[in-house]
Structure 1
Amino acid sequence: MSSNSMDFTSPVPAPSREKEGNIFKELHGIFNKFFKWLLAIIAFKSTDMGAALFNTHPKLINASVLAIVLYFLAWIFGTTLQSHIRSFLPILTCIIVLLASAASISALLIISPLIALLSSPLWVAVFAVIGNCCYQQLCEMICFAIFETIKNMIVSYKAKSTKLPI
């Protein structure tokens, strides 16, 4: 049998099936990382140093863990909804960056307040750039919606005006 012959034993996957498989693999990776984070936090809390840190800074640790959980939740929403709602992704990107910056700054406040204060303007700059991109995309979507509405109104008006009276 030549190497150019087709193998009919394995069917070619449909594009939508392949896309769903890729989303499933991405979600598997996200959950894998999420549970590793949670187990690492639990393992760290069970050590003497971790218990002392949780007792010393309970609000900061809770805020950091909550930001990490919300970050992974937003990441899961973005992965799941990316094929369904394209206009939602810029907003979700802003949310993810905001949560990542909150988790980063709260973790850095525990390690070194000076590093947290120095890195927070960088996070604000990143968030401002992404917010500007989201704002521009939102304006484009609004302009497109207005343009389509006006275009549909003109088409319907022309359709009504070309009818002959009976």
Structure 2
Amino acid sequence: MMTTTIEAAVTRAIVKLLLGNRKLKPGVFITGGDPLGIEDKIEMGRHAVETSSDLLHLEFRNRPTPALTGIALFLPRDGRCHIQSGCHLWLSKAGNRGLILPQAHVRGHFRLAPREIVHIDSKPADDLSDGIERASAWLTRQVMRPGVQYDDAQCTLWAQAA
């Protein structure tokens, strides 16, 4: 799948939401493309272990309109790869900290640091739905706002070929 302008804009906005003004550094890859099947997840997990890099994959659909449909994390630890799919973005009430929430039955949440994706053992709030809605609204405002400029050096976009 070719990376579209919308996907690139969403990817840059998500990096800004999760990192703020910090720059992404070696140790983390941000990928974007189609939702991943089981074979794709195995391959991404293998790649994460081989490169000792955390991967954050943004899943997009193209029809009827381009949209972010999910987030998957690939975290190589101790020679194994931990995979979390079906993740959501979450934003605090102060609007200054974007986080990644795994599926409801998974313990904790994740924070993107410049060189790794960090697991935090607790949930960021008792009611997560408001934070998910805030993140979605923030992302929509960032992507739809005319004249938004992003620093391409801030993120590494590695598009998956389908």
User: Where is the strand percentage greater, Structure 1 or Structure 2?
Assistant: 2
Q: Which has the higher helix share?
A: 1
- Normalised to the residue count of structure 2, the TM-score between the two structures is 0.24
The structure number with the bigger radius of gyration is 1
| TM-score when normalising by structure 1 | 0.24
Higher relative contact order (CA 8 A, sep 6+): 2
